[in-house]
């Protein structure tokens, strides 16, 4: 969008410490000036610089305004669903046992391989629209249900097409090391070799923003993960990791040694893992949807992460197996009730810290220079974002400087 717009008559939750000491950075009688797709100025309307001459003005009607929401961990592109597996788990079969019996991720791989690109696009677009309805303006999407060069490329292309066709910013993550596809049964090291050769091709096609792996006893070992990370590093691609979800594999420390943007899940994270993440500036991405769906009882070490000063993000982990949910606000609420985050931490977790988990310092706060991504809510205080659930208070969304119909 070209030209400048003054968005006035708002209460701003800027999340900018420069605007106030309590973390929310509240600005009463607030206004935002945008120039094209960037925020040019933020403050109370009384302080608007005299020389500001906006091309247009929008009255936000006294709404609460926050940064656009960032869902920094999803597996949005897949075929089929796993409702039958959900029933099996309710009857007592474990996630690991289902995976070892050839179900779990592998059943989604079969359904994804069988689906056309257009079908994958249509189903993923519906899901993306569900997330967007609650104010998501940046969405990370992982591959990992194709597990061949052709099928992984298809899923990543679908993710790119979503970003091109919908008014939101999509970041793609290559998760070839999600599980071993059946044609490589018993040959995990050969599979790792194969995906390391796919990576330059996928990158050359402009399909990869980051690289992830599932380091777990039902996934890949630390050594195999290291080889994937080395391949990413050679190409200058940042890494992230599904780490210590079901057991402590030392994956977080390995990822941190590669300067990982984030380590995600972390229910079994050790003190050494926390120290390594802290030293590397790696974000801890908490996924209460997976914890809830798998009926886990072991909590991520929240207090230790907090006192170490490791930034915490919160995401949906939307996927057909462990987190078939499409509400980032519900995840914020569960991050409080299940993981004991404060509402401020939960809201920082779905905005500024989620942006950091994607290596995107240009969003997640309302401040001059940030991308013009923001949401107007039918709410009085931003702590209500983590309080209500099963209710969508989103009123208006501006994405990349343009208001989208929500």
Distance of alpha carbon 334 from its chain centroid, rounded? 16
Q: For the CB of residue 317, give the shortest distance to ligand NIG in the complex, in Å.
A: 5
With CB under 6 A as the rule, give the number of residues binding ligand NIG. Answer: 13
Q: How far apart are CA 127 and CA 250, in angstroms?
A: 33
Residues 291-320, interacting with Fe ion (CB under 5 A)? 317
Q: Which is nearer to Fe ion, 35 or 317 (CB)?
A: 317
Q: Which of Fe ion, ligand NIG, none interacts with 66 (beta carbon under 5 to 8 A by kind)?
A: none
Q: Specify the residue, 146 or 320, whose C-beta has the smaller distance to ligand NIG.
A: 320
Provide, rounded to whole angstroms, the least separation between the CB of residue 126 and ligand NIG: 18
- For residue 184, the minimal CB distance to ligand NIG (Å) is 18
Comparing CB distances to Fe ion, the nearer of 34 and 293 is 293
Positive or negative, the CA dihedral 87, 92, 98, 101 is negative
Q: Is 226 helix (H, G, I), strand (E, B) or coil?
A: helix
Q: Which is nearer to Fe ion, 71 or 317 (CB)?
A: 317
Choose between 19 and 322: whose C-beta lies nearer to ligand NIG.
322
HSE of 374 in the Cβ direction (CA atoms, 13 Å)?
Answer: 31
Residue 319 makes contact with ligand NIG by CB under 6 A: yes
* CA gap 329, 191 in Å, rounded: 37
Sole binder of ligand NIG in the list 105, 141, 211, 314 (CB under 6 A)? 105
Q: Answer with the entry of ligand NIG, Fe ion, none that 108 interacts with (C-beta below 5 to 8 A by kind).
A: ligand NIG
Here the tokens at position 228 are 């994937």
Dihedral (Cα; 201, 203, 207, 213), 10-degree rounding: 90
Tell me the CB-side half-sphere exposure of residue 92, using CA atoms within 13 A. 0
Query: Would you state the structure tokens that stand for residue 336, as one six-digit string?
Result: 């409080």
Closest approach, Cβ 319 to ligand NIG, in A, equals 4
- How many other CB atoms sit within 10 Å of the CB of residue 303? 10
Contact 7, 35 (CB under 8 A): no
DSSP H or E stretch at residue 42: strand 38-44
Choosing from 245, 282, 353, 365, the residue that interacts with ligand NIG (CB under 6 A) is 245
224 binds, among Fe ion, ligand NIG, none (CB under 5 to 8 A by kind): none
For position 211 contacting ligand NIG by CB under 6 A, the verdict is no
Computed over its alpha carbons, how large is the radius of gyration of the chain? 21
Closer to ligand NIG by Cβ: residue 16 or 216: 216
Task: Retrieve residue 165's tokens.
Answer: 């066709």
Q: Which spans of this chain sit near ligand NIG (rule: CB under 6 A)?
A: 104-105, 108, 214, 242, 245, 290, 317, 319-323
The residues binding Fe ion (CB under 5 A) are 317
């Amino acid at each position: 969008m070209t030209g400048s717009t003054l968005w006035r008559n708002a209460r701003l939750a800027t999340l900018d410490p420069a605007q106030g000491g309590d973390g929310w950075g509240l600005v009463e009688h607030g206004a935002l000036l945008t120039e094209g797709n960037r925020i040019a100025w933020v403050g109370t309307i009384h302080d608007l610089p005299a020389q500001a001459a906006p091309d247009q003005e929008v009255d936000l009607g006294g709404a609460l305004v926050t940064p656009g929401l960032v869902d920094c961990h999803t597996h949005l592109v897949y075929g089929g669903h796993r409702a039958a597996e959900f029933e099996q788990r309710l009857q007592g079969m474990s996630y690991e046992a289902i995976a070892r019996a050839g179900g779990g991720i592998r059943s989604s791989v079969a359904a994804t391989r069988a689906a056309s690109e257009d079908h994958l696009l249509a189903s993923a677009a519906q899901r993306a629209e569900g997330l967007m309805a609650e104010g998501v303006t940046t969405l990370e999407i992982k591959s990992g249900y194709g597990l061949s060069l052709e099928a992984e490329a298809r899923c990543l292309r679908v993710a790119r097409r979503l970003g091109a066709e919908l008014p939101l910013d999509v970041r793609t993550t290559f998760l070839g090391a999600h599980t071993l596809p059946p044609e490589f049964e018993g040959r995990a090291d050969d599979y790792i070799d194969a995906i390391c050769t796919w990576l330059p091709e996928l990158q050359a096609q402009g399909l990869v923003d980051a690289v992830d792996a599932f380091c777990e006893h039902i996934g890949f070992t630390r050594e195999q993960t290291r080889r994937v990370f080395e391949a990413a590093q050679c190409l200058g691609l940042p890494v992230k990791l599904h780490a210590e979800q079901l057991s402590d594999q030392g994956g977080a420390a390995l990822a941190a040694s590669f300067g990982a943007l984030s380590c995600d899940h972390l229910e079994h994270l050790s003190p050494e893992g926390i120290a390594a993440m802290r030293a590397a500036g790696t974000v801890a991405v908490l996924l209460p949807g997976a914890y809830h769906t798998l009926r886990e009882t072991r909590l991520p070490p929240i207090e230790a992460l907090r006192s170490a000063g490791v930034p915490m993000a919160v995401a949906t982990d939307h996927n057909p197996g462990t987190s078939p949910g499409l509400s980032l606000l519900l995840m914020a609420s569960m991050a409080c009730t299940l993981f004991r985050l404060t509402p401020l931490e939960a809201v920082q977790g779905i905005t500024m810290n989620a942006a950091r988990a994607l290596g995107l310092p240009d969003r997640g706060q309302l401040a001059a220079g940030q991308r013009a991504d923001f949401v107007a809510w039918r709410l009085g205080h931003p702590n209500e974002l983590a309080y209500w659930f099963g209710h969508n208070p989103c009123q208006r969304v501006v994405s990349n400087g343009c208001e989208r119909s929500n």
